[in-house]
Amino acid sequence: GDSVTQMEGPVTLSEEAFLTINCTYTATGYPSLFWYVQYPGEGLQLLLKATKADDKGSNKGFEATYRKETTSFHLEKGSVQVSDSAVYFCALYYGGSQGNLIFGKGTKLSVKP
């Protein structure tokens, strides 16, 4: 079945460092891909999304490109801030009902000043 695999954390970076969090997926069709972010003590919120191959989602300085050839949707940010410390979830929606959303296990990011 469809699935999402993301790099295990935790990831610890210094402020202004470059961030990459890897995400790969397995899907039989053409899913939509998402990154959700969970700040400490809060629920998840949508960070960015891409609905078709070669689409780039971006928000708050974060970017991810839907790569069909490598079945990947890696999250990147050029210069992280302490406020980016959170858990990041890659997710895949494979169509049909809204329940068909699969989350990865999450990657915890800690940014040190």
- Provide the binding-site residues for another protein, judged by CB under 8 A: 32, 34, 36, 41-46, 49, 51, 89, 91, 93, 95, 97-99, 101, 103, 105-106
Shortest distance in whole angstroms from residue 44 CB to another protein: 5
**Which is closer to another protein, CB of 96 or CB of 113?**
96
Question: Which residues lie below 8 Å from residue 24, measured CB to CB, with a gap of 6+?
Answer: 4, 5, 6, 70, 71, 72, 73
Shortest distance in whole angstroms from residue 21 CB to another protein: 15
Q: Are the C-beta atoms of residues 25 and 34 closer than 8 Å to each other?
A: no
The region, left, alpha or beta by phi > 0 then psi within -120 to 50, assigned to residue 55 is beta
Shortest distance in whole angstroms from residue 92 CB to another protein: 8
**Which is closer to another protein, CB of 64 or CB of 106?**
106
**Which is closer to another protein, CB of 18 or CB of 39?**
39
Q: Are the C-beta atoms of residues 105 and 87 closer than 8 Å to each other?
A: no
